[in-house]
Amino acid sequence: MSSARQRFNTQMKKRIYWVLLLLSAVGVVSACMLTLTVAMQYSMRQAEQMICDLTDTISASYSYMEQEAYLEMLACLPDNVRATFITDDGTVLYDSDATESEMENHFGRPEIQEAMEQGWGEDIRRSATTSISSYYYAVRLTDGSILRLSRSYSSIRGMVVGALPGIAVILLLLFGMALYFSRRLTRWMIRPVERAVRALDHNEEGGAMYDELTPFVSHIRAQDQQIHDQRVTLEQERETLGIITNSMREGLMLISKDKTIIFINPSAISMLTGRKADVYEFQGHSYLLVNRTSELHECVMAAMEGDSRDEVFTLYGKIYHVYASPMMRMGQVHGVVVIVLDETQQRLAERSRREFSANVSHELKTPLTSISGYAEMMENGMVSSMDDIRVFSASIHKEALRLIALIEDIIRLSRIEESPRQTEELQAVSLNELCAAVAESLQPVAQKANVQLHLEGSVPPIAGAEAMLSEMVYNLCENAIKYNRPNGAVWLTLTDGDGEIEVKVRDTGIGIPEESQMRVFERFYRVDKSRSKQIGGTGLGLSIVKHVVEYHLGRIELDSALGSGTEIRVYLPK
């Protein structure tokens, strides 16, 4: 505000200075022109009076002198005075500026006519002989002849023009004085305003020498305070709005009526361009610079017509839902508000829930169908011997155990997914003891499958949920045993890495095809469904492993080749 007032003060000072200087210059020039005009008129009147007086004086001596002596006296007159002696019939006997014989008869001249009639006459005209504008004064002499004296106005003007250098010097002096006094007067006039400005800048009372400025200063001070309060409020609101929009996970973009970007937040840039960039790279440019997806373009065009529109599209491997609504003002569309939502996780979760429901229904239906079939056969008396009863009962028991295992895995998986990670519930877990216990519990299973289970390495304790980690290691080792070859081997290796612990399970089993390696951690996914049914797998083991690793903020990697075995590495932070 201080700089703005300073600029205003400077501009006002310049304006006052130039106005005063212009008025002074106009006054000086006008005064000089008026003085020249008056001087010119005065000089002309003086010259005319001088001609009249000189003519009357010379004419009075005509009666005492002879004509030749009289003409010689006329020849002695000043050069700027033209003397003409004319007879009573208009013949020119003498002229100081021309040859008498070449001059025409002057009887018809106005001043001659007047002199003949009343004794004297005068006229102002352009001379036919000299082609110069002159003043003529004629007097009738005692013998009836005419004496005429004249003086050209050019000589009068020449006298005035000769005075122009002096006048120019005076004009320059006056203009210099105008410059000086304009500057001094400007400073004197602006000093109270400057004092008032300083008082406004330093929030002081008074400051103006002019009483007329006091209401003006008070009003400015009140407006200044009001503007300051509004500016602080606007800055706070803008800062708050900036924090909100920049922190939004949703993308927000405002598009003007001419389809240029008014505002765009970092989330919208990241979603629509697939990279991080400065917002100023896009503001003021067409929204097509951000993204040219047809769905986005159709939504914006519909909103420009006054209709809200939303579309779903896939971009850079993610699923986005874009909403476009018109910005209305006085019933007219002045722009478009675009909101972009990342619905990738939501839609994947919905798809996962649908698949989970379908898979659970299918997995539960298969053993229940077998149990129902065997029970129906026994109910209808289709079993005739105890051997058949034992076979059917064993099948029912096997399917029931499969159902129980499936339900327990579903419960465990749901418990892990729904349990939020709470740091205070984590405890120190010795992976050495945990893996040794798991290996010992799986020895009977390994012996039955004719597989060697080896435990290697030693690591320090980590913070974690012991039950989840135990189930993770158990599922990895159990899968390695189940999908191994006869006389195969499984290695459970613990490695102390840089900032993390590696739990590695490697086997010499049948391996996993490359096209299935990305899906083995999905629920109910089986590489070989027939083999899974033979060994009693539920398809949830590796899904449970994945969720346990995510719960512990770790990561999991898989390397496998069909027929060459599988290696799964789990990295847990220390």
Task: Give 495's pLDDT tier (boundaries 50, 70, 90).
Answer: very high
Place of tokens 């013949």: 91
Q: Give the SS3 label for residue 228.
A: helix
Which position has the higher pLDDT, 36 or 143? Answer: 143
User: Chain centroid to CA 344: how far?
Assistant: 32
Tally Cβ neighbours within 10 Å of residue 464.
24
Which residues face 149 on adjacent strands?
Answer: 83, 137
CA 507, CA 451: separation in Å to the nearest integer? 10
CA 490, CA 565: separation in Å to the nearest integer? 10
The answer to whether 213 and 192 have CB atoms below 8 angstroms apart is: yes
Helix segments in 419-465, DSSP class H:
431-448
AA letter at 121: G
Which position has the higher pLDDT, 516 or 205? Answer: 516
Asked if pLDDT for residue 379 goes beyond 90, the answer is: no
Among 186-200, 212-226, 329-343, the range with the most confident prediction by mean pLDDT is: 329-343
For 2-36, what is the HEC assignment? Answer: HHHHHHHHHHHHHHHHHHHHHHHHHHHHHHHHHHH
Supply the pLDDT for residue 531.
46
Supply the pLDDT for residue 423.
54
Place of tokens 């899974």: 532
Which position has the higher pLDDT, 205 or 102? Answer: 102
Identify the CA nearest to 468 among candidates 490, 505, 438, 439.
Answer: 438
